[in-house]
Amino acid sequence: MATVPEIFGSMVFNDRKMEERLPHATYKALKRTVQNGEPLDLSVANSVANAMKEWAVEMGCTHYTHWFQPMTGITAEKHDSFIYPASDGQVIMEFSGKELIKGEPDASSFPSGGIRATFEARGYTTWDPTSPAFIRDKTLYIPTAFCSYTGEVLDKKTPLLRSMEKLSSVAVDVLHILGKTDVTRVTTTVGPEQEYFLIDKEMYDKRPDLIYTGRTLFGASAPKGQELADHYFGSIKTRVAAFMADLDEELWKLGVMAKTKHNEVAPSQHELAPIFATSNIATDHNELTMEVMKKTAEKHGLVCLLHEKPFAGVNGSGKHNNWSISTNTGENLLDPGKCPEDNLQFQLFLAAIVKAVHEYQDLLRLTVASAGNDHRLGANEAPPAIISMYLGDDLGALVDSIISGTEYHSAGKTNMLTGVDVLPDFRKDTSDRNRTSPFAFTGNKFEFRALGSSLNIGCPNYMLNTMVADELAQFRDELAGAEDLDAAVRSLVKRTLTEHQNIIFNGDNYSDEWVAEAERRGLCNYRSLPEAMAHYVDQKNIDLFTRNGIVSKQEMYARYEIELETYSKQLHIEALTMIDMAEKNITPAVIEFVRSLSDAVFVKKSLGAYSVYAETSLIEELSEKLEAFVKKTDELKTAVDNAAKINDDLELAMYYRKTVFELMNELRAIGDAMETKTSAKYWPYPSYGDILFGV
Ligand code: ADP
Ligand code: MG
């Protein structure tokens, strides 16, 4: 059997293969593009294309595809074969630099938020040489960016790449002012921890709600949920273990550094964490991870659910976006070092992030908003809808001392005494974790925890990069030419932390007191996508993105429309699915069951039975519920019909949230109550117990 180092990256046209297969000058030129962002010329592209094709064909590939991340939220691909007519009526396998650099998928069916009318179908995909090509299913995948004929950005990747460039150039300026003149490039790194559910395919196939919407729209709680906490980190079941082993191997072949896997809190819930990578590669890899999870599950007769809230009553799934910044000289700029009190460079970067998160908390909130994630944020499981930062005891004390001008006392690392001779004592972390904070400092990185499990991490990361770059640019301008640099940095840090300390919160984010306290502090609390998204196009946000050249005002409006439209469409589909399930299966099933009870009453009475209490009381209860259920179904139908009268995107999304969503919840409550009273023989769908404990 091949070892892990042997299979790792075997399906990737990685640095080693490029060095082996490219002419030295081409390899060097490509490296300069990848490492320093230098533009690439066609002769280099031709040479790279040829080497890629040779390798791909040797590996059995017949096709290539430009792989991109349109605003649908999933990846897209269009496959072309390498064949090229030869003079003798035969074909040869060809791939030119032009084909590598530019693709032209028909863009008309991808959401563009009105930027591009359907008749202007042209869209271009452009090779992203910073993310390596790879092979899946006998096809060479080329990571690309996607834009319209007129140059508007239509994807999630371009803004991310731009934001990385921006942050790099500004951070380098700042570091140069601080005397670190050897730094020429700064990169953002991301390690996304991915949660998911794994259920039996047979159960899945019987649930139209899972098939159409990714979540259960009906379903009474099972007698057991997650209350015993016996699933978290529990030993992994054989079938799941086989899936995970297969998944790891597939991901390793694709160069994804899958590292940690474990069971999560909810039954049937699991997590996978990779080793962190540069933001854009981490984004591509996370998209790949989600796709490979789904495909691998199929092979095992399982279905991988990436919806944020597949089951009511147990935890939903999120994604932790671990984020940091480091230099090409190998320094992590978010590492406080041994003496953070003297580390002005660290303090400066920390201050920029504190200010960014405070000023653009609305952006961080809305970048994680989705119909699915609305079920988590604000509920008592995920970080709340209020964005705040957790710094931990040590850094918290440092910030306090800077603000108040008092001396800083580190909590200091202490020895953990295990009290058992054979167990080694070890150094304890200086602060415990705060699992409730949406944006927590964790040693040498920040962990943005509010992301939904299915989200493309490109968006939160380009927002984060841009806001931090913008604050650093202000710092740079203030510090440039300072006579006493030390004093200038100290006063800038002190002023910034003082002005923005309201975003720092070290307590329990789930408590009601925090909601009230956050309101006093003037922090936003947007509970749903429409509420949050309304602020995307606030002037300060448009200014931020246009000032930094990340996306234009028109592109922002396009994104705004797409998000709102998608939200309304998703709720629309959910409502229709519920109505369908209610009318075609649930109502008839309950009627059948009631009829069988009535038959029983009839038979028993004719035999002169002493009591028919059990049957009649059940008939009464179910009949009453059924009547309410049918009426509620009709109400929901009318509400859905009325949505057609609303034209404004924001108003429509608000309507779906306030009216349709509420009715769906009410309908579900009645349906679930009927489920608990109806014979399992008659109930048309697998129960929560069947699904959650079925693997
Ligand atoms: P946990 O949060 O579960 O304790 P870790 O803190 O070890 O786990 O790491 C979580 C994730 O953070 C991993 O994906 C890891 O690769 C990533 N990570 C670690 N260091 C960095 C960094 N400098 N930049 C970005 N991500 C990082
Ligand atoms: Mg974590």
Would you say residue 117 has pLDDT above 90?
A: no
Cα 642 from chain centre: 32
Residue 418 is assigned to a structural domain of this protein: no
Residue 607: give its domain's CATH number: 1.20.120.1560
Percent of the chain scored above 70 by pLDDT?
Answer: 94
Q: Does residue 140 sit in the same domain as residue 181?
A: no
Would you say residue 307 has pLDDT above 60?
A: yes
CA distance 385 to 48: 46
Model's pTM, two decimal places?
Answer: 0.93
Residue 254 is assigned to a structural domain of this protein: yes
Return the pLDDT at 36.
76
Residue 10: give its domain's CATH number: 3.10.20.70
Residue 423 is assigned to a structural domain of this protein: no
Return the pLDDT at 192.
98
Q: Does residue 172 sit in the same domain as residue 102?
A: no
In one-letter notation, the amino acid at residue 307 is: H
Residue 244 is assigned to a structural domain of this protein: yes
What is the domain count for the chain? Answer: 3
Residue to probe by mutation, ligand 1, list 259, 262, 276, most atoms within 8 Å of CB: 276
Lowest mean pLDDT among 31-40, 174-183, 270-279: 31-40
Q: Does residue 150 sit in the same domain as residue 185?
A: no
* pLDDT tens-digit series, residues 221-248: 988 877 777 777 778 889 999 999 999 9
Q: Does residue 626 sit in the same domain as residue 545?
A: no
Q: Does residue 127 sit in the same domain as residue 213?
A: no
Q: Does residue 240 sit in the same domain as residue 389?
A: yes
pLDDT band at 48 (very low <50, low <70, confident <90, very high): very high
Return the pLDDT at 434.
72
Taking alpha carbons only, the member of 395, 522, 516 closest to residue 446 is 395
Q: Does residue 395 sit in the same domain as residue 504?
A: yes
Q: Does residue 281 sit in the same domain as residue 372?
A: yes
Q: Does residue 456 sit in the same domain as residue 514?
A: yes
Residue 258 is assigned to a structural domain of this protein: yes
pLDDT band at 433 (very low <50, low <70, confident <90, very high): low
Residue ending a domain, choose from 104, 128, 154: 154
pLDDT band at 119 (very low <50, low <70, confident <90, very high): very low
Torsions phi, psi of 489, nearest 5?
-65, -45
Lowest mean pLDDT among 32-46, 314-328, 343-357, 624-638: 32-46
Q: Which two tokens stand for residue 645?
A: 């009268």
Q: Which two tokens stand for residue 147?
A: 């834009």
pLDDT band at 414 (very low <50, low <70, confident <90, very high): low
Ligand 1 atom closest to 275 (CA): 16
The set of protein residues with a Cβ atom below 6 angstroms from ligand 1 is 189-191, 193, 273-276, 322-324, 332, 442, 444-445
Torsions phi, psi of 187, nearest 5?
-120, 150
- Residues measured by CB to lie within 5 Å of ligand 2, the ion: 320
Residue 477: give its domain's CATH number: 3.30.590.10
Would you say residue 664 has pLDDT above 80?
A: yes
What is the average per-residue pLDDT within 67-83?
Answer: 86
Ligand 1 atom closest to 442 (CA): 6
**Which residues, 6 or more positions from 415, have their beta carbon under 8 angstroms from its beta carbon?**
425, 426, 427, 428
Residue 673 is assigned to a structural domain of this protein: yes
Ligand 1 atom closest to 323 (CA): 25
Would you say residue 10 has pLDDT above 80?
A: yes
Residue 420 is assigned to a structural domain of this protein: no
Which has more pLDDT, 103 or 651?
651
* pLDDT tens-digit series, residues 143-176: 998 877 667 787 889 999 999 999 999 999 999 9
Q: Does residue 585 sit in the same domain as residue 542?
A: no
Would you say residue 419 has pLDDT above 70?
A: no
Q: Does residue 500 sit in the same domain as residue 432?
A: yes
- Per the structure, the complete domain to which residue 12 belongs is given by 4-154
Residue ending a domain, choose from 154, 182, 212: 154
Residue 373: DSSP 8-state: G
